[in-house]
Amino acid sequence: MTAAAVRIGLDIGGTKIAGIALDAGGEPIADVRLPTGWGGDAVIAGILDAVSELRSRLAQRAVRSIGVGIPGVIDAARGRVLHAVNLGVESLEISRVVQDATGIRCFVENDVKAAALGAAASRPRTAPMAYLNLGTGVAAGIVVDGRIWRGARGGAGEVGHIAVDPQGRICGCGQRGCIETLCGGGALARAWGRDGEHPVKDILDAADEGDARASALRRDLFRGAAAAVRVLVLTADVETVVIGGGLVALADRLAPGIRQELVDESASSPFLRSLRLDERIEMLPAGSPVAAIGAALLGSASAESVLDKETSVHG
C-alpha cells in the first residue's frame, strides 16, 4: 500500500456541501461544511474549496482519492453529472475537472447511491441491503457484496417513481400516484399547501390533533414508505432496508407507522407475512454523514465499480 491512504468524500446537497476525510481504516479524521453555489462553475468551486479545506487539516498526509456524491443522473464512465436541476446544472464533467485541478483521482456517484454505500460500510457484508432515502424526493440504492448495484443504465433503485395509486396525485415525472407523491417531503408539502419551514412535521402535528386532511397525508406517508420497502424486498430480496434522508429527523414518529402499515398490509397474505417486512427496516440516526462517507469509499477497491478500474487491494 502507498502512503496515500486518505480518502475524501463530498456530499453535494441543494444548500450545503458536507465533506469528510477517512483514514485507511475508514475512520473519519476531518470534516467540513460549506454552502453550495448555484450553477456548474459554483459547484466546482465549492468542491475544490471543500477539498482544500480538508487537506489543510490533514497535516501533509497524501490523499488517494476524492469521491463526489451529487443529486442527478450520473454518466459513470465519464465522471459526469446530468440534470442536477436543484444545483442549476444541466451537464458537468466533475471527475476530469477536479482531477486536473488537484492531481487526485476523482469519482462521481449519485448522492443516494453514495449514501447507500456509506450506510452499508458499517454493516456486515454478508447480505444484500437497500438504503431508502426519504427526503424532498424518494429514491433507493441497493448494495450487493459491498458494491452499489447500478443496473444497466444506472437506474436501479428508482423506486420513488413506481406508480402505486391510479387515483393519486400527479408526480413531477408525469405519472400519477408515484410512491414519491405519497411519501416525498416535496410532494407532501405541496399537498399540504400551508406555509411553514417543516411541513412534514406540521402535518404530523396536525394529524395528532385530529385534522382530517393531515391524517390522510400521514397515512399516505406511511403507505408510500411501506410500498417502497415492499418493492425493494420483493425485487432484490434485501435483508435490510435502512431508511435515511431528511425525514428521519422525525424517525420516532415515522417508524412505528411504517411498520404498522407493513403489518396491516400483510394481514391477508401469508406470503407477505412470511417476508417479515416490518422487521427488515432500520432508521438511520438523523444527520448521519453516510453520503459523504460513501462518496469517500467510491475510490476504494472494496467499492470497485465501473467507475473504478483501480486494482490495488485496500488494507
Which parts of this chain interact with Zn ion (CB under 5 A)? Answer: 161, 171, 173, 175, 178
- Strand 80-84 and strand 89-93: the pairing is antiparallel
Task: Show Cβ contacts of residue 294 under 8 Å, excluding neighbours closer than 6 positions.
Answer: 9, 67, 69, 109, 113, 114, 115, 116, 117, 118, 119, 120, 121
CB 145 to Zn ion: min, Å: 30
**Alpha helix (H) ranges present in 76-134?**
94-102, 111-121
Q: Which is nearer to Zn ion, 176 or 253 (CB)?
A: 176
CB 159 to Zn ion: min, Å: 10
Q: Which is nearer to Zn ion, 113 or 161 (CB)?
A: 161
Q: Which is nearer to Zn ion, 158 or 278 (CB)?
A: 158
Q: Which is nearer to Zn ion, 171 or 203 (CB)?
A: 171
Query: How deeply is 181 buried, as exposed, middle or buried, from its count of CB atoms within 10 A (0-12, 13-18, 19+)?
Result: buried
CB 308 to Zn ion: min, Å: 31
Query: What's the rounded Cα separation, in Å, for the pair 7 and 21?
Result: 6
* Residue 228 near residue 178 (C-beta atoms within 8 A): no
Q: Which is nearer to Zn ion, 175 or 302 (CB)?
A: 175
Beta bridge partners of 272: none
Query: What's the rounded Cα separation, in Å, for the pair 231 and 272?
Result: 12
CB 179 to Zn ion: min, Å: 8
CB 235 to Zn ion: min, Å: 17
If you ran DSSP here, which 8-state letter would residue 77 be given? G
